[in-house]
Amino acid sequence: MRNYIFQCIEPTSADWMQIENAYDSTCYQTEKWYSYLRKIGVKPFVVSVCFDDKHIGYFLGEKVWLGIPMITAPIEGIGTYTQGLNMLQETSEAERIEIYQALAQWIFDKHIALTMQVEDWQLRRDSAEWIPYESFHHKAIEQYGLNYEFRPTLHVPVNKSEEELWVGLSYKSCKYCVNKANKLGLHVREITRFEDIPAFCKVHYNQLLEVCTHKGMRPKPAQREKRMRALCESLFPDRVIMLEVVGKDDNGVEQVMSSGIYCIDKGQCSYWTGASYQRYQKYCPNELMVWEAMKLLSRRGGGDLNFCGMASYKLKFGTVYAYVPRLKFAKYGIFLNFTHMLKQAFYFVRNRILTPMRKRF
């Protein structure tokens, strides 16, 4: 293994300029994103990476305490999908994996944490068809004998022309809906004033709450109104796109029928949340909103639009399957699946104890 040198840093303005101009930057590797993390009480963990005294990049993640000290990139439950290395020059898969190995060993030797978990968009594998990820393999990682698991998601490259994006849409389930919404007079409105963010987040949360209630669920922590407001205010104006679909209902009254939040970056954009009131779904506002968002992201230099999940309705937008590896390192083998065990314990307490208690009282 080559001689890599690591140093924990508090990024300066010059550091952030390098990070955000890197070829592999994502919306989760920006100064504004880390401003959001601090607002919600998450401690950033940023490391400078050097090779033979030459600065070659950064590692961006978070330091958390869940019974043991852990480095995660990204932290689970925050709404992100990938983080990790941010390199100043294009770097091969083999070198990225080697750097992660060296970084994990450095973290353990310096007693910074006992485990490290990383999801890197640059190490993903794309497929036009669904392949069960239990049987999917990442041979480049396996060659190093590393522990990993896949997080599948759907994404579509938006660095295309409008004509190319339109060709990728499904005709029956998407193009038809976009044309219908246009014929009904629906239009998409972007939130461009900071003072409008609270009102937007309130409406958007109410729409999400209705969707979750209909499914017998609760909004995720990252989808709660205060969190969404902190996100939008932190990323405003150039790292977030907030959209509302407006149209007249059967009584001729103008209504906000659906809304959505998109994080933007040239490397990887994200479909953060989207929702609509059920009574307006017959107007097809959701398809129109996503289509207009794709065009906006394309015009503003967005990269891959990660839909952050596997919901089947996302297939209609010309998406492909992405298998994002989650690399798992631990100083001691007993901690290798510690995060998984904590999640299982949490779901057991929530589903077997807390939910029955709420129903009883």
Q: In terms of Cα–Cα distance, which of 187, 90, 185, 93 is closest to 142?
A: 93
* pLDDT at residue 103 in the model: 97
Task: Give percent of the chain with pLDDT exceeding 70.
Answer: 93
Half-sphere exposure of 354 (CA within 13 A, CB side): 7
* pLDDT at residue 18 in the model: 96
Tokens at residue 32, please?
A: 């504004």
Domain boundaries, the chain: 4-150+325-360, 159-302
Q: In terms of Cα–Cα distance, which of 321, 324, 323 is closest to 156?
A: 321
Q: How confident is the model at residue 339 (pLDDT cuts 50, 70, 90)?
A: low
Average pLDDT over residues 174-195: 96
Is it the case that residue 62 has pLDDT exceeding 70?
A: yes
- Rg of the chain over CA atoms, in angstroms? 21
What's the chain's average pLDDT? 90
Topology of domain 159-302 in CATH is Aminopeptidase (3.40.630)
* pLDDT at residue 131 in the model: 87
Average pLDDT over residues 14-18: 96
In order of 182, 245, 268, the CA distances from 290 in angstroms are: 13, 10, 16
Work out whether strand 304-306 and strand 268-276 pair parallel, antiparallel, or are unpaired.
parallel
Q: For the chain, list the strands marked E by DSSP.
A: 4-8, 43-51, 54-65, 69-73, 84-87, 115-119, 125-127, 147-157, 187-190, 240-248, 254-263, 268-276, 304-306, 320-330
Q: In terms of Cα–Cα distance, which of 259, 231, 225 is closest to 245?
A: 259
* pLDDT at residue 80 in the model: 76
| Residues 241-294: tens digit of each pLDDT | 999 999 999 999 999 999 999 999 988 899 999 999 999 999 999 999 999 999
On whether the CB atoms of residues 180 and 284 are closer than 8 A, the answer is: yes
CATH architecture of 4-150+325-360: 3-Layer(aba) Sandwich (3.40)
Most confidently predicted of 188-202, 263-277, 306-320: 188-202
The two domains 4-150+325-360 and 159-302 share their CATH topology (first three levels equal): yes
* pLDDT at residue 164 in the model: 95
Q: In terms of Cα–Cα distance, which of 300, 265, 268, 273 is closest to 200?
A: 273
More confident residue, 254 or 332: 254
Average pLDDT over residues 199-209: 96
Phi/psi at 230 (5° precision): -60, -40
**Alpha-carbon span 81 to 300, nearest angstrom:** 21
Is it the case that residue 354 has pLDDT exceeding 70?
A: no
Is it the case that residue 220 has pLDDT exceeding 90?
A: no
Average pLDDT over residues 27-39: 93
